[in-house]
Structure 1
Amino acid sequence: MSWLFGAPPKKEEAKEVVLDDNSGVVPSIQDPTSNSNSINNNNNSQDVSSILQSQYLDPASLHPLAGLDKEIEYLDLDDEKLNTVSGTSNGILPSRGWTDDLCYGSGAVYVLGLTTGGLKGFNEGLKQIANNQRLEYQPFKLKLNTILNHVTKHGPQWGNSAGVLGIYYNGIDSMLDACRGVHDDYNSLASGFLSGLIFKCTKGPKAMGYSSVLMTLAAGTWCGFKRYVNGPPDGSERFQ
């Protein structure tokens, strides 16, 4: 009588009975919706794999000019990319121009100044600890703090000064190379002299003179070190 009240009759869901071939006795009832879910999962996995392998994700097709399809390229200084100014082949490291000289030169002297200043501060810290030890006992943490204070006081100061001198020297040296068309010891000595003058230009003539002389001696020492490492230059790279 349920049709009088408008309630539709219930339909039983069809279920598939699957017999186990191994046992032959115990049946298993499998819902047909599980098959559809597995089919959908397989389709989704195939869709993802096909998308990943499609040409739209190919690095070469995304941006051909960027060279994304190439392997990692390491720094390779080709002969045709090196500095072509006469006399530059006598350097310690191969150089591609004034940018390499400025980067390597200023960075090397900065590290050298930082190390030298740190050693000077370390020595002063040990001396102060020895003097204070005679007056009263000091714990280890206080001794360590004293050494670190002296190291951080002199290390950055020497490193920054050396880095600025390296920038002045390499900048002036590159300009002289471009103007004269040759890289020789004259350029190095002149660069050292001028960089010393500029570095102490606010301290008066006396400080400028001392600084220029010291920088000229340092430039001469650097030229001698290059000749010692690379051997005597050829005739085109000697003093002219």
Structure 2
Amino acid sequence: MAHPTSSSDHERGSDPNTRLYDPYRDLQVPSRYLYQLPTSHEFVFVEEAKRQRRSWGDNITFYTGTSCLGGAVAGGASGFVTGVKSFEPGDTTKLRITRILNASGHTGRAWANRLGVIGLMYAAVEGGVNAVRDSDDVWNSVAAGLATGALYRAARGVRSAAVAGALGGALVGVAVTAKQVLKRYVPI
């Protein structure tokens, strides 16, 4: 239930030394102060600011997103080729376009899901290895590649998991080495 107030209460508080809260008082600030936002990460703890790597959440978002997008593009291209190969002599243009779109969508979706899961697993394992070893070096990435390959194919048996783990570790090792060579010899 609302209590009736007099107009003198609105103009001045019940105590002559106080004033009422005005939510619109600070809105007369120049806009340059409102929109000068920081361009770097803000950290709560100094220890976090000293580390020069992405956080675990950033890695999961980055690896999962790029893997999913890469899988969708590669799968869509593969589906496009499959759709073109499935043309029959009497097909109309509309039917040919439909075949291409269906094949591209189906294959792209499947590849995006597979590679997105692999990216998610890799980011989680790499974050775990970084936390356990408390260092950020090439061996963490290679170990994450080994574990990701082995985990991805573990349901198909020990041999398949071992081969996939070796391939994952080798692939990540080549990628990390290529990145270091690129950093050293190409001025970007």
**Alignment TM class, shorter chain as reference:** 0.7 to 0.9
Quote the residue 2:101 is aligned against: 148
For residue 200 of structure 1, the aligned residue among 135, 149, 153 is: 153
* 127 and 83 in structure 1: CA distance in 2 versus 1, 3 angstrom threshold: farther
Q: TM-score, normalised by structure 1?
A: 0.58
Distance 1:55 1:141, change over 3 A: same
Residue 161 of structure 2 aligns with an amino acid whose one-letter code is: M
Aligned length: 157
Q: Find the aligned partners of 1:70 and 1:181 in 2 and give their Cα distance.
A: 39
Secondary structure of 1:55's counterpart equals coil
Where structure 1 has 5 or more consecutive residues not aligned to the other structure, the ranges are 1-53, 61-68, 90-94, 233-240
Q: Name the structure 2 match of 1:110.
A: 68
1:71 and 2:35 matched: yes
Paired residue type of 2:102: N
User: What is the alpha-carbon distance in structure 2 between the residues aligned to residue 83 and residue 113 of structure 1?
Assistant: 34
Structure 1 residue 171 corresponds to structure 2 residue 140: no
Letter in 1 for 2:41: L
Taking a change above 3 Å as real, the CA distance of residues 202 and 139 of structure 1, as seen in their structure-2 partners, is same
Tell me the SS of whatever aligns to 2:126.
helix
Unaligned ranges ≥5, structure 2: 1-20, 28-32
Contact kept, 8 Å, 1:82 with 1:97, in 2: the verdict is: no
Distance 1:151 1:55, change over 3 A: same
Kept in 2, the 8 Å contact 1:102–1:171? The answer is yes
Query: Cα offset for 1:78?
Result: 6.2
User: Which residue does the alignment assign to 1:57?
Assistant: 24
Matches within 5 A, 1:200-239: 200-231=153-184
Which residue identity is paired with 1:71?
Y
TM-superposed deviation, 1:158:
0.8
1:4-23 alignment, distance < 5 Å: none
Distance 1:144 1:57 in 2: 58
Q: % of aligned pairs identical?
A: 22
Assess, with a 3 A threshold, how the Cα gap between structure 1 residues 124 and 111 changes in structure 2: closer, same or farther: same
- Per-residue deviation, 1:117: 0.8
Letter in 2 for 1:172: V
Mapped to 2, the partners of 1:144 and 1:74 lie a distance apart of: 48
Alpha-carbon separation, structure 1, partners of 2:117 and 2:85: 30
* Range moving further from structure 2, 143-152 or 221-230: 221-230
CA distance in 1, matches of 2:178, 2:50: 21
1:167 and 1:140, CA in 2 relative to 1: closer, same or farther beyond 3 A? same
Q: 1:73 to 1:103 in 2, by over 3 A?
A: same
Deviations 1:57-104 (A, max 9, x none): 2467xxxxxxxx8326365236965461xxxx5xxxxx4411111111
Question: Alignment partner for residue 112 of structure 2, among 159, 170, 174?
Answer: 159
